[in-house]
């Protein structure tokens, strides 16, 4: 995609689309913004590079915070049947002492969080969007930002089209490298799979830190959604194993507290921290993974992106001009605290827990013991899982 200054020439095209807010990317964050703007002054259009409903094949399951459940309920997009409550989280490290347990009874909420397949979350949001609001299978060619509006051109089925909008919202998911993006490659890949335990999960999630990276087991239906984090070479090997050998590798990494009996298909995701330095520019704003992509260890990514969408919708709801620079600057400033806190929390956990140095392993053990023995510290971590930024004093 290339950007042109105002006044640069671009092809003249049909049909003439026109919107106040044009969202690029109909993933869960882009769709959440569109739903949150329903009933506002803004006419909203979404465009996506993939086929409509392509998310049906996404293999991920997401841990959603209790706060996200509340926001999705307000959007009428909470799929209660598809969410499995997490009532306890057991945190430990392989080959070291120290462990802690977070339990829902301590926090007065029905659950610490919920686990839901990406596709069920996306389906609930898509059901709130009018079919004519989404143009799928688009390849964005150019974006021209002018003083009064922006013009985007895209190609669909060999034809070039133009859309004018007051504001372009970028929600295209994880960005590539670029001058605006800072990247920290974790040299880890996440292997995801749904795995059946020999006995029930009792709504307990497990977070086990290993020298390869964190291993998370999230209760989902009768199964665990597994996020098995390992170096890239090991990930390639794990993806090639037959089911029996994969289960054996998982068992070895996790230990003997649970027994795994069968597994569904596996998929791999490379992991890095990617942050955009500026969230808003003239008539453009960035939300969700395109603004910041985090390691999945603390299950913050979508939860943070949903708060981006929610707060942007609040800023735009009554604006006569959706690209109002003051509103965009206020939005971008308002998001800094939440995003910096979430990035630091997640990045800190990955870096502290993903190595095998003896002194650090000892310090981790002390940290886990402290979490267990010192309730305010434990409550802080639990509240971050439940509420996100509202955990901060």
Ligand X SMILES: Cc1cc2nc3c(=O)[nH]c(=O)nc-3n(C[C@H](O)[C@H](O)[C@H](O)COP(=O)(O)OP(=O)(O)OC[C@H]3O[C@@H](n4cnc5c(N)ncnc54)[C@H](O)[C@@H]3O)c2cc1C
Cα separation, 155 vs 387, whole angstroms = 41
Judged by DSSP in three states, 91 sits in: strand
Q: Which residue has the tokens 């800023």?
A: 315
Interface with ligand X (CB under 6 A), residue from 133, 289, 319, 342 = 289
Closer residue to ligand X (CB): 105 or 176: 176
Interaction between residue 52 and ligand X (CB under 6 A): no
Interaction between residue 49 and ligand X (CB under 6 A): yes
Interface with ligand X (CB under 6 A), residue from 20, 48, 144, 223 = 48
Minimum CB separation from ligand X for residue 30, in Å? 5
Interaction between residue 171 and ligand X (CB under 6 A): yes
Interaction between residue 113 and ligand X (CB under 6 A): no
Judged by DSSP in three states, 227 sits in: strand
- Non-local (6+) Cβ contacts of 388 within 8 A are 65, 67, 68, 300, 303, 304, 307, 338, 342
Interface with ligand X (CB under 6 A), residue from 19, 30, 162, 206 = 30
Determine the number of helices (DSSP H) and then strands (DSSP E) in the chain.
9, 21
Interface with ligand X (CB under 6 A), residue from 214, 219, 301, 323 = 301
Q: What residues numbered 179-198 form the site for ligand X, per CB under 6 A?
A: 190, 192
Cα separation, 239 vs 193, whole angstroms = 10
Q: How many residues contact ligand X, by CB under 6 A?
A: 32
Interface with ligand X (CB under 6 A), residue from 85, 146, 173, 221 = 173
- Using the rule CB under 6 A, give the single segment among 28-36, 245-253, 323-331, 370-378 that binds ligand X: 28-36
Residue count of the chain, please give it.
393
Interface with ligand X (CB under 6 A), residue from 269, 341, 369, 372 = 269
75, 40 Cβ separation under 8 angstroms: no
Interaction between residue 292 and ligand X (CB under 6 A): no
Closer residue to ligand X (CB): 96 or 254: 254
Closer residue to ligand X (CB): 116 or 316: 116
On the 0-12 / 13-18 / 19+ scale of CB atoms within 10 A, 7 is: exposed
Minimum CB separation from ligand X for residue 244, in Å? 23
Closer residue to ligand X (CB): 98 or 216: 216
Tokens of 120: 């069920």
Q: What residues numbered 123-162 form the site for ligand X, per CB under 6 A?
A: 140
- Taking phi over 0 as left and psi of -120 to 50 as alpha, with beta for the rest, 374 belongs to beta
- Using the rule CB under 6 A, give the single segment among 194-202, 258-266, 295-303, 357-365 that binds ligand X: 295-303
Judged by DSSP in three states, 209 sits in: strand
Give the single-character DSSP code of 302. Answer: H
Tokens of 167: 């504001």
Provide the sign of the torsion angle of the four alpha carbons 355, 359, 385, 335, taken in this order: negative
Closer residue to ligand X (CB): 269 or 317: 269
Interface with ligand X (CB under 6 A), residue from 296, 311, 338, 378 = 296
Interface with ligand X (CB under 6 A), residue from 300, 315, 346, 354 = 300
Buried b (16+ CB within 10 A) or exposed e, 18-35: ebbbbbbbbbbbbbbbbb
- Using the rule CB under 6 A, give the single segment among 9-17, 80-88, 301-309, 376-384 that binds ligand X: 301-309
Interface with ligand X (CB under 6 A), residue from 19, 20, 27, 205 = 27
Helix %, strand %, coil % for the chain, to 5?
35, 35, 30
Minimum CB separation from ligand X for residue 115, in Å? 7
Binding site for ligand X (CB under 6 A): 24-30, 47-50, 60, 62-63, 140, 171-174, 190, 192, 227, 269, 288-289, 296, 299-303, 305
């Amino acid at each position: 995609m290339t950007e042109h200054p105002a006044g640069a020439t671009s092809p003249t095209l049909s049909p003439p689309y026109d919107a106040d807010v044009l969202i690029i990317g109909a993933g869960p964050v882009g769709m959440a913004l569109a739903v949150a703007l329903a009933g506002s002054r803004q006419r909203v259009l979404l465009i996506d590079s993939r086929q409509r409903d392509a998310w049906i094949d996404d293999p991920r399951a997401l841990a959603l915070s209790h706060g996200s459940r509340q926001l999705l309920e307000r959007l009428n997009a909470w799929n209660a049947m598809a969410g499995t409550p997490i009532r306890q989280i057991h945190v430990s490290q392989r080959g070291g002492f120290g462990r802690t347990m977070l339990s829902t009874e301590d926090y007065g909420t029905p659950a610490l969080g919920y686990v839901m397949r990406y596709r069920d979350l996306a389906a609930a949001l898509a059901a709130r969007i009018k079919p004519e609001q989404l143009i799928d299978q688009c390849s964005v060619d150019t974006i021209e930002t002018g003083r009064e509006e922006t013009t985007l051109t895209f190609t669909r089925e060999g034809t070039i089209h133009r859309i004018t909008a007051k504001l372009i919202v970028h929600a295209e998911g994880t960005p590539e490298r670029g001058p605006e993006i800072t990247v920290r490659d974790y040299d880890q890949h996440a292997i995801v799979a749904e795995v059946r335990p020999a006995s029930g999960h009792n709504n307990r999630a497990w977070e086990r830190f290993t020298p390869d990276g964190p291993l998370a087991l999230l209760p989902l239906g009768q199964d665990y959604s597994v996020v098995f984090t390992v170096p890239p070479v090991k990930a390639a090997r794990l993806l090639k194993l037959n089911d029996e050998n994969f289960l054996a590798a998982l068992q070895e990494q996790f230990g003997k507290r649970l027994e795994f009996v069968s597994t569904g298909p596996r998929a791999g995701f490379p992991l890095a921290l990617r942050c955009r330095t500026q969230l808003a520019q003239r008539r453009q704003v960035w939300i969700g993974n395109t603004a910041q992509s985090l390691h999945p260890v603390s299950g913050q990514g979508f939860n943070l992106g949903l708060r981006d969408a929610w707060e942007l919708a609040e800023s735009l709801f009554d604006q006569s001009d959706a690209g109002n620079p003051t509103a965009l600057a206020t939005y971008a400033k308002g998001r800094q605290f939440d995003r910096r806190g979430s990035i630091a929390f997640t990045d800190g956990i990955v870096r502290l827990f993903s190595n095998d140095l003896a002194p650090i392993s000892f310090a981790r053990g002390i940290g886990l013991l402290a979490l267990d023995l010192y309730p305010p510290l434990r409550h802080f971590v639990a509240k971050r899982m439940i509420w996100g930024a509202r955990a901060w004093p």
